[in-house]
A and B are shown apart, each in its own frame.
Chain A
């Protein structure tokens, strides 16, 4: 710890212990349940591709067919690979097509058939995971060749026109103008689709659909940009909503570099069933760990619904929970882009000092995590001149407190989707602040016992207080009772609940088995390959 805030190490350790205690029942829940999306992700790893003429992916059709015959609780791996043997084919996509036509019956195999299906399923899924490993090794190679951005924080910029072929030149222009990370915002409402659309897409609502083909096209374009610019330009998308595990899988297969992946966002803001979310989240984080993907968590969202001063401690609590869930799933500290945001009302006296205190608290609590610093949105009024000043102060906090990823704020926030000139002005703002004060964090040491230290201590104490209240119950109860944000989300309600099942005896998921092998996660940066045991 750098120790600028003189935090009490005993209290910090207690906060982590309480987060672990609050999160553990959720992990137990995730370990004992599966979801349709987890199973579809397994099938994607096993090589099922494409969609039917109506655009419904074959993985959906196949999972639905298995569920109709034997239910979800056994997992789909055994019934599917058992049927492959009986159908005398090795092509899983072909099996999906036959199943959709109703010409295949599924059963849960036993005895020697089960052993054979298990081995075949594991072999097929291991091949998919090897593809993810190769993409990770490829990233490592490209980063070595082209290099990381020269400065911290990395500059993160959003594009999203709805049309992937329009997004590509915009993303390349943004990279040329200084962006280190490009995020393609998804179409409104994609998080509530229970399938992943297919192919290149040219229309979306306030965003571009996340599809495997769109991922591939954008990654290829940014590879060109990386080569041109001599620095590796990263690509971000969203592993959230009902298809979180599949998004993570597709991101791994197409070498995306960062994924938005919050533990509670879907529950609170999209009314997705809590159990569905936690099960999906754990699997998606295991995939991210393996793929060397940096996750971005969504704590900024709490502050857009609640007061950024009064509720600052809920951000800290969520960061601690996200950290616990992430570590449990195998993610290493360098993969934790824990989120927080500059959302205090600028009319509050000393708002800048409060922001500094909160940002520094996050920095010192999570010294090895990159931290994602999010710009003001709530108090952007349409007064673009004031907005530009506010963004400048946001950038200043970012560099003074050593944030890892800086999402570039737009002065036209809440006015229009950013124009070319808005982006240019915003990047100019960032460049000025980082250029003029990039090393200020070396000199910036808050006065001992002063305003900033006191504020940080208070937020930490309030976070510990909240965790103690949660600790007596569990995170699920806390969510049901409306502790986070203001939404009450009981565990037996919400979207996607019908796609959740408790494991039956003999449940088998080869992906989880491989991903949970010791040392399988992202703890050591670098590549490794999955050995298939005969």
Chain B
């Protein structure tokens, strides 16, 4: 049984295909609205669809709960998962790994460079406040965070990274007029290459809503994070790139 490749959702009997969905339609509650909900469920592959709950909400909206048998099959052999190339760790694990393996605080320097005054991104990643319920890197006891804020020049950033003995430099770029984010990033990575020998250079990370995450090599940085990145992902990546993943490459 454990090797079966084709499965259906499970209600209370193997193969019954039962699912439950809820949604809102922008129509006032009446017979036609209920019919519309059943029609949507049918189009989603739920057939027969059992409309168990319909309730008017707000002006001209109706909320529905539908149970029913879905006629789609799931082919487990065809499931493709894009694996993150580093494990996602909680704050406790990040702190524990840094403490045990690095035996000092991991130093992170962050900034918005160029004329970009949008600190939204860097603050979401660094401030304790964080984003979407996740605390920023300042919250991690074993990370030492220096947030330089907005409109930092590249030489200032290099100098600050040197003073803070940065293990990683985080740069946020929101403004993309005339590809400013790409120019700024190239300028930044070139400055670090010039100022520090390869082995001593901090990990260079840029983030922003308009970057293509696959462009890292082209821009001379170690990693690019796009829209929707959370502090936890960045912290996990730092641990992976600087500590847990490094061993394998050195050996």
**Chain A interface (Cβ < 8 Å from any Cβ of B):** 173, 176-177, 188-189, 192, 205-206, 268-271, 304-305, 377-378, 380, 413-414, 419-421, 424-425, 485-487, 495
Contacts and interface: CB of A to CB of B under 8 A. Distances in A.
Interface stretch (B10-18, B34-42, B120-128): B120-128
Contact of B128 (A305, A378, A424, A495): A305
B28 to A, nearest CB: 14
A420 B128 contact: no
Contact of B123 (A189, A380, A424, A485): A189
Contact of B58 (A420, A487, A495): A420
B58 A173 contact: yes
Nearest to A485: B128
Interface in B101-122: 118-120
B197 interface: no
A38 B135 CA distance: 30
Contacts of A419: 24
B59 interface: yes
A424 B139 contact: no
Nearest to A268: B128
Given A271-B147, A305-B139, A487 B128 contact: yes
A177 B149 CA distance: 42
B162 interface: no
Interface in B79-95: none
Nearest to A205: B120
A414 B127 contact: no
Given A420-B24, A420-B61, A420-B63, 16 more contacts: A173-B59, A176-B58, A177-B58, A188-B123, A189-B118, A189-B123, A189-B124, A268-B128, A269-B128, A271-B128, A304-B133, A414-B133, A419-B24, A421-B22, A421-B57, A424-B63
Nearest to A419: B24
Contacts of A378: 133
Nearest to B139: A305
B138 A271 contact: yes
Contact of B133 (A176, A377, A420, A425): A377
Contacts of A176: 58-59
Interface residues of B, number: 26
Nearest to A265: B129
9 A-B pairs with the lowest CB-CB distances in the bound complex, closest first: A424-B57, A189-B120, A269-B129, A173-B58, A414-B133, A421-B63, A421-B24, A269-B128, A205-B120
Contacts of B119: 189, 192
With most chain B CB atoms within 10 A of its CB, the pick from A380, A413, A421 is A421
A424 B123 CA distance: 32
A206 B130 CA distance: 13
Interface of B: 22-24, 55, 57-59, 61, 63, 118-120, 123-124, 127-129, 131-133, 135, 138-139, 141, 147, 149
A188 B58 contact: no
A414 B142 CA distance: 25
Contact of B57 (A192, A205, A420): A420
A210 to B, nearest CB: 15
A47 B28 CA distance: 48
Contacts of B133: 304, 377-378, 380, 413-414
Contact of A487 (B59, B123, B138): B138
26 contacts: A173-B58, A188-B120, A188-B123, A189-B123, A192-B119, A192-B123, A205-B120, A206-B131, A268-B128, A270-B129, A271-B128, A271-B138, A304-B133, A305-B135, A414-B132, A420-B24, A420-B57, A420-B58, A420-B61, A420-B63, A421-B22, A421-B24, A421-B57, A424-B58, A425-B63, A495-B149
Nearest to A188: B120
Contacts of B118: 189
Contacts of A413: 133
Contact of B127 (A177, A271, A380): A271
B184 to A, nearest CB: 19
A351 B133 CA distance: 21
A305 B131 CA distance: 13
Contacts of A425: 63
A378 B129 CA distance: 13
Nearest to B129: A269
Contacts of A414: 132-133
A377 B135 CA distance: 12
Contacts of B141: 486
Contacts of B24: 419-421
B36 to A, nearest CB: 16
A188 B136 CA distance: 13
Contacts of B149: 495
Nearest to B91: A305
A514 B198 CA distance: 63
With most chain A CB atoms within 10 A of its CB, the pick from B23, B55, B58 is B58
A495 B138 CA distance: 15
A188 B139 contact: no
A304 to B, nearest CB: 8
Contacts of B139: 305, 486
A500 B127 CA distance: 22
Contacts of B120: 188-189, 205
A411 to B, nearest CB: 11
A486 B149 CA distance: 21
Contacts of A173: 58-59
Contacts of A189: 118-120, 123-124
Contacts of B23: 421
A269 B139 CA distance: 9
Contacts of A206: 131
A173 B58 CA distance: 6
A4 to B, nearest CB: 33
With most chain B CB atoms within 10 A of its CB, the pick from A269, A380, A425 is A269
Contacts of B132: 414
A173 B26 CA distance: 14
A249 B75 CA distance: 62
Contacts of B127: 269-271
A297 B58 CA distance: 31
A413 B133 CA distance: 9
A474 B119 CA distance: 32
Contacts of B128: 268-271, 305, 485, 487
B70 to A, nearest CB: 20
B90 to A, nearest CB: 13
A182 B141 CA distance: 36
